[in-house]
A and B are shown apart, each in its own frame.
Chain A
């Protein structure tokens, strides 16, 4: 790792030029049919407790879908079933089907580890790896996939950081620990880290809840830009945020057994102005939640 960092520095001057070409090239643009995510009758459990009940939802490719609803309604749990993070919790299980471009993510032949490579995740609290430098944080995912030539790695790190609108702020200090950045920068670093492995889908679990308003605004702008290339699903508590960043919105609530269910989903303007359900209407009007 140390060696990598040293040689990385010596190549910086050279790498800066070819990295420009990386932008928009296959290195950062997802291919395929665009990442159509379809949830069919998804149920999520913690032991015997049902946290999510029977959610069916089609997520638009290359667009932002917001999951909103009162706390405890299972939105984060549902999000974590999509990249199979849910099952890493002891006793947690999932029923139903989730497909990406028609491929069943819970198929016996599909390894959860590979699912998480094509479906990246950004967490509530920025969590850069404290023992890794900024460069290593972004390179971490690619390193797992095998040997990537140094020059190529430099290019991916730079283009990912540029894509996350962080490059200009960190290009002089790539060797410093990721934790030395401010909260908002850390979160953008986590986004850069997630897109460096070229996922098709990005899941964001309340990515701004730990940030101040200015940093939040920056992340929101970034989400809008990323939507051109990635299918984005974002959980948020903040309805203004949902209305600002998302194309579609899905509203969740809790049934009498405290299991979360989907109330309704649709284009964001419709959900916020003329929802079909009265429950949705009172929630977006701020009457509960």
Chain B
């Protein structure tokens, strides 16, 4: 090693055992980091590959146009059910979440904003099964197992997502932009809607898409609220409603090959929708985040 007082020649050209050990450790650690990163992406490929492999033989036009009890069974009612329950949840919690997020970032007094953030954190951490049991306790006794109850359970999960993303992107809007508008005498509400929210709109939409994606994939809360059905359920929120995750869960361990195949086919459809939604919004944001 190069102890104090060694010659330049030694220091530069005659590495000691300690120097060589350090260089080797550095090399080994770099490989370890590389392997870890590789391991981190591996599951994505393994999963997508395997699901596609198992689902392909069962994909057919009938899958998306027929209901489970038709001659050629399909998952039409599950796709419809998933989409409409999610749509209802987003239609209700989207505006509320955006309003709340805008309030917390633009108008809330410091203390209120801090409490609001904590509330959102806690709500984001609520396990989906807890949201499910809440809807089960509150709505199922009144409305029965139904699309309404399913949507409500999903809404509990989507609300904090929308609120948090809105609040975060609003915060990134430079103050100068709203000040410029306010200085022109534009009232606060117009400034907020037409200037601040509009500037942050891509981010707000990102929040809505993420919430939609999350909601489409939720299973446990729907099992105890919407329950699933074999019947057609277009806009039939008053009774049990089917959803893609329910089909996957219920057929995963089915006895007959055909049902199992449907589970895989449904999984592929659901996965493709979820991945597309995320590709849509994440590609833009993944590397531009402020830390």
Contacts and interface: CB of A to CB of B under 8 A. Distances in A.
Secondary structure call for the A interface: loop
B34 to A, nearest CB: 15
Nearest to B20: A111
A145 B1 contact: yes
B12 A110 contact: yes
A26 interface: yes
Interface string B2-15: 11110111011101
Nearest to A28: B4
Contact of B3 (A32, A103, A145): A145
A118 interface: yes
B8 A114 contact: no
A145 B2 contact: yes
Interface in A13-59: 26-27, 31-33, 35
A113 B23 contact: yes
B13 to A, nearest CB: 6
Contacts of B13: 103, 107, 109-110
Contacts, number: 52
B7 A31 contact: yes
A225 B9 CA distance: 26
Contacts of B2: 114, 117, 145
B4 A101 contact: no
Given A110-B12, A145-B2, A32 B7 contact: yes
A257 to B, nearest CB: 30
B4 A32 contact: no
A144 interface: yes
A234 B18 CA distance: 32
B179 interface: no
A52 B26 CA distance: 30
A268 to B, nearest CB: 27
A144 B8 contact: no
Interface residues of B, number: 17
Interface in A102-120: 103, 105, 107, 109-111, 113-115, 117-118
Contacts of B1: 145-146
Contacts of B4: 26-27, 156, 198
Contacts of B15: 111, 114
A200 interface: yes
B18 A145 contact: yes
Secondary structure call for the B interface: helix
B79 to A, nearest CB: 46
A118 B8 contact: yes
Interface residues of A, number: 25
Given A103-B12, A110-B13, A31 B19 contact: no
Contacts of A33: 8
A100 interface: yes
A146 B1 CA distance: 8
A100 B23 contact: no
A89 B11 CA distance: 24
B22 interface: yes
Contacts of B11: 114, 117-118
Contacts of A101: 8
Contacts of A145: 1-3, 18
A111 B9 contact: no
Interface centre among B1, B11, B19, B26, by most A CB within 10 Å? B11
A209 B289 CA distance: 29
Interface in B1-59: 1-5, 7-9, 11-13, 15, 18-19, 22-23, 26
24 contacts: A27-B4, A31-B5, A31-B7, A32-B7, A32-B8, A101-B8, A105-B12, A109-B13, A110-B13, A111-B19, A113-B26, A114-B2, A114-B11, A114-B15, A117-B2, A117-B11, A118-B8, A118-B11, A118-B12, A144-B22, A145-B1, A145-B18, A198-B4, A200-B8
Interface of B: 1-5, 7-9, 11-13, 15, 18-19, 22-23, 26
Q: Which 5 A-B pairs have the closest CB atoms?
A: A26-B5, A32-B8, A146-B18, A146-B1, A118-B11
Given A32-B7, A111-B23, 7 more contacts: A27-B4, A31-B7, A32-B8, A35-B8, A100-B8, A103-B9, A111-B15
